[in-house]
Amino acid sequence: MTRSDETNVAFACRALLKESIRYAEMGWMRGTSGNLSLVLARDPLRLAVTASGVDKGELTAADVVLVDGAGTALSGPAPSAEAELHARIAAVAGAGAVVHVHALAPVLAAERWPGGVPLTDVEMLKGFGRAAHGDKVVVPVIPNDQDMRVLGDAFETGFRADTPALIVSRHGIYVWGTDLRQARHRLECLEWLLRFALATSAEHPERGM
């Protein structure tokens, strides 16, 4: 690692630590689940990603790994097992930050709508970068797989530039943005929207959303 890589990773570490503590406190990173990444350079692609198998609510500077565009570690311990998918999302969507959490609502919503979760006519959609009314949002759902290339191909097949999220069924959700803050705002709003969709479809099963 060069001196500037080290400086960038140190900056990323502080930012990732702050975000992951918040997500852990929300119960969205139970045990060692979830992972976060921040793009440090585009050409060639370089990301700081959380290490694999650690409690993301207890991250230290030693738990942030510099990876390349294939999710391969360039320094430090083993990166997240999902680092390759983070890199793929960053490359395809042009995201500056990608967050992955194991919140329950996205996984339940994927069970209810395995072909994609429809969302429309709710004010909170603005927090996801979409119109509150008339905009028919469908959050893509893909089957889980242990092969990140399989997940990456499925993500790319359903990718739409206006929908910065991906649910992996029976697993969790990925949300991205220009930076960690925007990704967080989108995730928090989307998680609310998914809970709303589940609650209202349970009350009115004929309606869907």
Ligand X SMILES: CSCCC(=O)C(=O)COP(=O)(O)O
Choosing from 27, 31, 114, 208, the residue that interacts with ligand X (CB under 6 A) is 31
8, 12, 13, 34: residue in contact with ligand X (rule CB under 6 A): 34
Angle formed at CA 19 by CA 12 and CA 114, multiple of 5 degrees: 115
CB closer to ligand X, 33 vs 182? 33
Q: Is the peptide bond prior to 106 cis by the omega test (within 30 degrees of 0)?
A: no
Q: Residue ranges for the binding site for Zn(2+)?
A: 100, 102
If one asks whether residue 79 binds Zn ion (CB under 5 A), the answer comes out as no
Smallest gap from Cβ 134 to Zn ion, in A, equals 33
Stretch that binds ligand X, among 5-13, 14-22, 48-56, 103-111 (CB under 6 A): 48-56
Cα separation, 49 vs 149, whole angstroms: 17
CB nearer to ligand X: give 173 or 209.
173
* 46 vs 193: CA distance, rounded Å: 32
The annotation places the binding site at 100, 102
Closest to Zn ion by CB, 76 vs 172, is 172
- CA atoms lying within 13 Å on the CB side of residue 192: 12
37 binds ligand X (CB under 6 A): no
Among 172, 173, 175, 193, binds Zn ion (CB under 5 A): 172
**Tokens describing residue 172:** 């969790």
Residues engaged in binding Zn ion (CB under 5 A):
172
